[in-house]
Chains A and B, each alone.
Chain A
Amino acid sequence: MLHLTRSLLLASIALAGTSNLALAAVCETEGGVIQAAMTASPSTMDPMMTTTAASREINIHVFESLVTFNQGYEVIPQLASSWTRADDGLSYTFTLRDGVKFHNGETMTADDVTASFQRFLKYSPANSTFTNVVSVETVGPLEVKFNLSGDFPLLSNMAIPVNAAIMPKSVIDKYGEKEILPADAIGTGPFSLANWTPDVGVKLAKFKDYSQAPGDGPDGFGGARTACVDEVNLLPVTEEASRVAGLRTGDFDFAEALSITAVPDLEQDTNIKVEIVKPRWAIVLELDHKNEWVAKLPFREALLAAINPEQVLMAATFGREAYYRVQPSIFFPEQTAWNTNAGSDFYNKPDMERVKAKLAEAGYDGEPIIYLTNQNYGWMYKASQALAAQWQQAGINIQIELMDWPSQIKRAQTQTDWAINQTGWSPRFDPFQVTGSLQCGALGAFGYCSEELGKLLDVLNSGADVEARKAAWEQAQALVWTDLPVLRIGDYFEAEGSRNTLSGYSPFYVTPRFWNVSQNRK
């Protein structure tokens, strides 16, 4: 017996509410070009070959999937109009929106979706969480069925933008496992890929026949999106000074990842609007549980008791309060669906007596504790300096080892000659994405193993309903704060800037969105 999800109802209500009048008011002006200075260059235009942030910034404009996330990080339909889930959770049937056009003029059918997912499941680096999908089949002109061997959060996995991009079957057939070339990077998004010159830039062009999803307007990564400008150029500008200078001269209309020190000058400029992107980074310490000391819970507790997070965050942000937040939740307060303070009794409670007691309990007597950090991310380096000072003061013999970022990752993953690894977590969309850092045996868990946490992760990785998953997550986070597989210090924000000639822009997640943004400069 199948039951209809509420999405069908939502979609039909939203459809009824859409009118031409509303659409006309969406863009302040139409046409024009946006020059956006980005931090990194994508490595491919094939959405199924990578999961890097640089590619996501392109892909959210060009490609769409069956579902996506809204502003509150909840799953909403995108190319699907509705879906049904079998009671046993072992099959999902999606009904597609009718008449959706690809950039090459073809109309999307169930065969395109089936072919795209089959390729995704076979070759994408993001496929590892989809192992329960046994098969995908076309069951009608606009109906696709997913058969599962076991229940799992299929919808949240599918919604990660835009790993499971829907492309024409003709393109999938042409390339198979080979990397899709830019000329054939065809999706259904509001912009099409016009040109990609590696390290120079990506040019996106407005897709005139874009088939808008229903809704009152854009919502998160989905909703009713509109391309207001004719062209968006995403230019990799790795030097921050150059991004700032270009924003001031008007060479760039938008610049991401501006450093805190650049902001006061930019704020003086009346032509520029600076916005703080929340959420952005969680300052996190990964711990190597194969290390003799880290393996002991009292030692980990001593590490936590020595930390004054506010001081660390102030060091990372030059003391600018707007750029940090002392809070313990793994999911940021903006991520209302998953935010919780569960278990954080000992967070932000620096206590030297407790440190001493816990160190004595662990039997620690001053052996060196290796702490890996880097200067590629200035805030990580500054945070690690402050943390090292706090730990040293507490009698822990911390030895900082400075490396470059790729080398640090490699060493953390392949060697066991370290204890603490300075890192930053970008916001996760759903708790299943934390599994890789907490689950027994996962590379990113660095030897951590907890049966209790494992059971909770099993619930989170099942297709259980939202309420059951929320309850499991609450308990999982409580365990993270008592068993300390990792140490979360707090939130670190970055600014981005745009010229006043852009209207309609608002930051979301960590990925700039240029739909429903107008260019008023002539």
Chain B
Amino acid sequence: MLNLILRRLVLFIPMWVGVSVLSFVIVHATPGDPAAAFVGQDAGPASLDAARARLGLDLPYWHQLYNWVAGSLTGDLGQSFFLGRSVIEAIVERLPVTLSLGALSLLIAMAVGIPLGAIAALSPNSWKDATSIGVSLTFLSIPEFVVGMLLIYLLGVELRWFPIGRYVPLSEGFLPWLHHLALPALALGLSQSALLARMTRASLLQVLRADYIRTARAKGLPERIVIGRHAFKNALITIVTVIGLSMALLLSGAFITEALFQLPGIGSLGVNSVLRRDYPVIQGLLLIASSFILVVNLLVDILYGLLNPSVSKR
């Protein structure tokens, strides 16, 4: 086991370098000039050059690449061109927003998706099944920004139940935080709930056909216990896996949702940085997002090893 972890950790270094180089190449291959975005359209060529020098863009390409990769290996992701702070600071500042949004939308996804899937599975091929799967399919098919706009219009503009956008940190109170975050979390959570509902239904249906459920019923156990204690518990394994998977999807969904609701999180940081060509921030975000996936993969492998010892022996 320890061997597996060590092996994977060693592999981490070349991967990190590879991702650093790739993110640099991708970002610098994009046309556009951060210096021009910074100084504005009235700037003369001399001040454009001065701005490029200030941002370090006058250095040869290889020199810039070396600085970036070497820096990233020591944890220094550089300074943002536009935010007046380091990339790490900018990301750390915005992390609470994205984490809040992610957590709340995951809760919503679970609160909506699991019951919907369970209802469908418990009465397969009935009108309940058709309705709940229909509802979840609808949410799955509509893009997040459309759901977001509809929610803004219905719950924000027409009914005035929720404020539109803006983030209120948790430190200013739980209720204001929740009130401001509810709409974006709904927009993001509802589309995730669809996936969860479908997986819950499939998984629960499979478990309900298992021998031990038949045995439990034959023993004369009340249906409540058969479903709650035996079926649902076993179906949860798949559901939890899907929840893990949707964490990554939530991050990508945050790019659109945060921009729509003006939430200053990682997603909107990404979008704005691309639009103004804030190279260090885009590179930093790419690197951190890929590392996040690498870490999740490592954790999954470790978990597999724990669950199935034959993996770690291989």
- What is A's interface to B at a CB cutoff of 8 Å? 41, 43-44, 49-53, 55, 123-129, 160, 163, 179, 181-182, 197-200, 235-239, 241-242, 245-246, 248-249, 251, 403-404, 406-407, 409-411, 433, 443
Can you name the residue of chain A whose Cβ is closest to the Cβ of B163?
A251
| Alpha-carbon distance between A126 and B42 when the two chains are bound, in angstroms | 6
Can you name the residue of chain B whose Cβ is closest to the Cβ of A425?
B41
Q: What residues on A are CB-neighbors of B44 within 8 Å?
A: 125, 127-129
* Contacts A235-B262, A237-B262, A410-B32 given; does A51 touch B39 at CB 8 Å: yes
| Alpha-carbon distance between A181 and B50 when the two chains are bound, in angstroms | 19
A/B interface sample: 20 pairs, CB < 8 A: A43-B276, A50-B40, A52-B39, A125-B40, A125-B50, A129-B44, A181-B84, A198-B83, A199-B268, A237-B262, A242-B262, A245-B152, A249-B157, A251-B163, A406-B32, A406-B36, A406-B277, A407-B30, A407-B31, A443-B45
| Alpha-carbon distance between A51 and B48 when the two chains are bound, in angstroms | 12
Can you name the residue of chain B whose Cβ is closest to the Cβ of A43?
B82
The 8 A-B residue pairs whose C-beta atoms are closest, nearest first, are A128-B44, A406-B32, A125-B43, A51-B40, A125-B47, A125-B39, A407-B31, A52-B40
| B149 near A241: Cβ-Cβ < 8 Å | yes
| B82 near A198: Cβ-Cβ < 8 Å | yes
| Alpha-carbon distance between A235 and B33 when the two chains are bound, in angstroms | 25
B210 interfacial by beta-carbon distance below 8 Å: no
| A49 near B39: Cβ-Cβ < 8 Å | yes
Q: What residues on A are CB-neighbors of B31 within 8 Å?
A: 403, 406-407, 410-411
Q: What residues on B are CB-neighbors of A239 within 8 Å?
A: 259-260, 262
Shortest distance between the CB of B47 and any CB in chain A (Å): 4
| A41 near B272: Cβ-Cβ < 8 Å | yes
B63 interfacial by beta-carbon distance below 8 Å: no
| Alpha-carbon distance between A238 and B41 when the two chains are bound, in angstroms | 20
| A128 near B272: Cβ-Cβ < 8 Å | no
Can you name the residue of chain A whose Cβ is closest to the Cβ of B273?
A199
Shortest distance between the CB of B242 and any CB in chain A (Å): 30
Residues of B in contact, count (CB < 8 Å)? 47
- What is B's interface to A at a CB cutoff of 8 Å? 30-33, 36-48, 50-51, 81-84, 90, 149, 152-153, 156-157, 160, 163-167, 259-262, 264, 268-269, 271-272, 275-277
Q: What residues on A are CB-neighbors of B48 within 8 Å?
A: 125
Q: What residues on B are CB-neighbors of A124 within 8 Å?
A: 47
A406 contact from B33, B41, B167, Cβ within 8 A? B33
| Alpha-carbon distance between A179 and B277 when the two chains are bound, in angstroms | 19
| Alpha-carbon distance between A197 and B265 when the two chains are bound, in angstroms | 12
B46 contact from A128, A197, A433, Cβ within 8 A? A128
Can you name the residue of chain A whose Cβ is closest to the Cβ of B81?
A43
Greatest chain A CB density within 10 A among B37, B39, B268 is at B39
Q: What residues on B are CB-neighbors of A411 within 8 Å?
A: 31
